């Protein structure tokens, strides 16, 4: 698995909630949720610049699940896991620069609520809620946006922001090149199958 980068369409998807059955069994599409979270944690921590949060669509799985890696007691502690998060009661407003592991090279000022209430299920399926403040509030709002197909580039005006537009163009070009490579691989594989029929 790897971190999915803009403009991959999975990043624009409305993610589905996990079912009660999936939460109860801790398995989603045949994969233990704990394994998924471990993989997300590894990818997040190994990423250049070390992200502070990662949402499931960022590894190509459109479900409402994200992890947050801030305000922890030790650097190797397991990140906080949010399953089917619900955010409410936004208060205050603050503008700060944010980055995103799915938007390498892009940094944007984003307005967010200063505090929000968060309710979610943890990795054991147990419901928890708290009032998020500061960096935690910002991170939770950023990751929750991913679950609704929204990224920071949809939260700020890019018209006059030439460096960001350039960075996005670069990402679009390399994504197109990669798609072309994958399509060629597929065609080559088909040709090989055809040839081996003789
Ligand atoms: Zn992000």
Q: What is the pTM of this model?
A: 0.91
Active-site entry in 93, 143, 172, 194: 143
- Ion ligand 1: residues, CB < 5 A: 100
Instruction: Provide the terminal-to-terminal Cα distance of the chain, rounded to the nearest Å.
Output: 36
Cβ-based neighbour number of residue 19 at 10 Å: 12
Q: What is the pLDDT of residue 194?
A: 74
3-class state of residue 16 by DSSP:
strand
Contact in structure between 22 and 28 (CB atoms under 8 Å) = yes
Task: Report the separation in Å between the CA atom of 169 and the middle of ligand 1, taken as the mean of its atom positions.
Answer: 18
Q: 9-156 architecture in CATH?
A: Alpha-Beta Complex (3.90)
HEC string for 75-141? CCCCCEEEEEEEEEEEECCEEEEECCCCCCCCCEEEEECCEEEEEEECCCCCEEEEEEEHHHHHHHH
Task: Report the separation in Å between the CA atom of 29 and the middle of ligand 1, taken as the mean of its atom positions.
Answer: 24
3-class state of residue 193 by DSSP:
helix
Determine the average pLDDT of the residues in 118-126.
Answer: 96
Q: What is the pLDDT of residue 189?
A: 82
Q: What is the pLDDT of residue 89?
A: 98
| Rounded-to-integer distance, Cα 167 and Cα 45, Å | 23
The answer to whether residue 149 scores a pLDDT higher than 90 is yes
Tell me the pLDDT tens digit for each residue of 23-77: 999 999 999 999 999 999 999 989 887 788 999 999 999 999 999 988 655 666 7
The answer to whether residue 105 scores a pLDDT higher than 80 is yes
Catalytic-residue membership of 94: no
Handedness of CA 143, 144, 148, 154 (dihedral sign): negative
Q: How far is CA 93 from the centre of its chain?
A: 23
Please, which pLDDT band fits residue 192 given cuts at 50, 70 and 90?
Answer: confident
**What are the extents of the domains in the chain?**
9-156, 158-198
């Amino acid at each position: 698995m790897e971190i999915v980068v803009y403009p991959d369409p999975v990043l624009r998807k409305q993610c589905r909630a996990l079912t009660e059955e999936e939460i109860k069994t801790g398995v989603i599409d045949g994969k233990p949720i704990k394994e998924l979270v471990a993989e997300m944690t590894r990818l997040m921590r190994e990423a250049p610049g070390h992200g502070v949060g990662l949402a499931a669509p960022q590894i190509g799985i459109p479900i409402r699940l994200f992890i947050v890696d801030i305000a922890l007691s030790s650097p190797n502690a397991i990140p906080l896991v949010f399953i089917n998060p619900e955010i409410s009661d936004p208060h205050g407003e603050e503008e700060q620069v944010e980055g995103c592991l799915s938007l390498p090279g892009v940094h944007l000022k984003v307005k967010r609520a200063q505090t929000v209430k968060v309710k979610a299920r943890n990795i054991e399926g147990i419901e928890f809620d708290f009032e998020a403040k500061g960096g935690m509030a910002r991170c939770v709002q950023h990751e929750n946006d991913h679950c609704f197909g929204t990224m920071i580039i949809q939260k700020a005006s890019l018209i006059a922001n030439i460096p960001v537009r350039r960075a996005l163009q670069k990402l679009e070009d390399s994504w197109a090149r990669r798609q072309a490579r994958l399509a060629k691989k597929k065609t080559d594989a088909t040709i090989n199958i055809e040839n081996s029929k003789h």
